[in-house]
Amino acid sequence: MTNRSPKRTTNGTPRARAPRDREADADAAAPLGASGKALMILELVSAAREPLSMAELVRRSGLTKPTAHRITAALADMGLIERDHWKRGYIEGPRLIKLALDTLTAAAPRALRHSILRALSQEVGETCNFGVLSGSEVIYLDRVEAKWPLGLRFEAGSRVPAHASAIGKLLLALQPLEQRAEIIAALPLVPHTNRTITDVARLSRALDKIRDSGVGTDEQEFIDGVVCIAMPVLTESGDLVGAIAISAPNARLGLDQLLKFAPALRDATTRMGATFRLDPEERRTPAPARSGGRRAAAPRRASGRAQARAT
């Protein structure tokens, strides 16, 4: 093998290496290919409790700044990450969120969580849903229909308006107050029945009551003749990962009667929460306070930032 001496300038001193060469050396030292680096960026963004700046991505990933710029630009072009409008950092993009939701929806019938939902439905005799907040809507990740001739027919993956559903109002109520105000100000408060709340101030007051009680309600606000209650699903660390709801035709059960199922619903949410765990690093590190300094009294923010996983 021939050992090549470094190229020299005309005065005999070694020629400085170009920045691109140094970047290539730095990235080549990492045991990751391009796909591995992209996956690392996605994991960092998904696990972060706050939008990540480029400087923070570089620091956490160990990549050079040009490489981090190149990868984040490619991921943003694909819709996997995007810039947060308020914090000016990177957050999950719509395509990444859809991928996660599709995975959860497809896996739900095979998971322990589905058996918990099925057991609750059998106990109370009504339809039960597990859902998460996505923008202005709630997405049902799993659902068990009651065996009644009179009932509702939705599939897992169905979307319902957040402002007119028990799960949606509950999850909105438990957001940090400053963020909640921003969200509901931007919500399209479309009426679905004559009971739908379409006024921002009135919705805010309703969310305050739900925040205090810990129970979301829908009294024929989305569909005439249908009532619903919901409670949050929390991890053992108090992170909010979604909510479970019980719904029934008002002709069979009024809202007051449905609320009698609250103990069974609470037990199901506790068991559901136990199926989630946080990464070891998340367990060791307390969640930083968000801007504005206020958060929901008991639960922390939904797990898009907490990276909750099935055990």
Determine the 3-state secondary structure of 121 from DSSP.
helix
Strand partners, 137: 134, 161
Domain 104-310, CATH homologous superfamily name and number? GAF domain (3.30.450.40)
Question: Identity (one letter) of the amino acid at 283?
Answer: R
pLDDT at 192 over 60: yes
In the chain, residues under CATH classification 3.30.450.40 are 104-310
Closest CA to 84 of 93, 72, 75: 93
Distance (Å, whole) CA 249 – CA 299 = 30
Q: Which CATH number fits domain 19-95: 1.10.10.10, 1.10.10.60, 2.60.40.3470, 3.40.50.2000?
A: 1.10.10.10
Crossing angle (nearest 10°) for helices 34-47 and 54-61: 120
Q: Write out pLDDT tens, residues 207-255.
A: 999 999 999 999 999 999 999 999 999 988 888 999 999 999 988 888 9
**Please, are residues 273 and 241 in contact by the beta-carbon 8 Å criterion?**
yes
Judged on CB neighbours under 10 Å (0-12, 13-18, 19+), 44 is middle
- CA–chain centroid gap for 135, Å, is 10
The reported pLDDT for the residue numbered 285 is 32
* pTM higher than 0.85: no
Model confidence at 286, pLDDT cuts 50, 70, 90, reads very low
> What value does the mean pLDDT take over residues 147-170?
79
Give the pLDDT confidence score for residue 146 in this predicted structure: 85
Residues of the chain within CATH 1.10.10.10 domain(s) are: 19-95
Q: Say what the pLDDT of residue 281 is.
A: 41
Q: Which long-range contacts (C-beta less than 8 Å, at least 24 apart) are formed by 99-103?
A: 101/132, 101/134, 101/139, 101/141, 101/157, 102/157
CA 4 to chain centre: 54
Q: Report the pLDDT value the prediction gives residue 27, as an integer from 0 to 100.
A: 47
pLDDT tens column, 56-104: 999 999 999 999 999 999 999 998 888 876 667 888 888 888 787 777 6
Q: How far apart are CA 167 and CA 83, in angstroms?
A: 27
| Closest by Cα among 253, 262, 241, 299 to 101 | 241
Tokens representing 299? 């639960």
pLDDT at residue 268 tops 50: yes
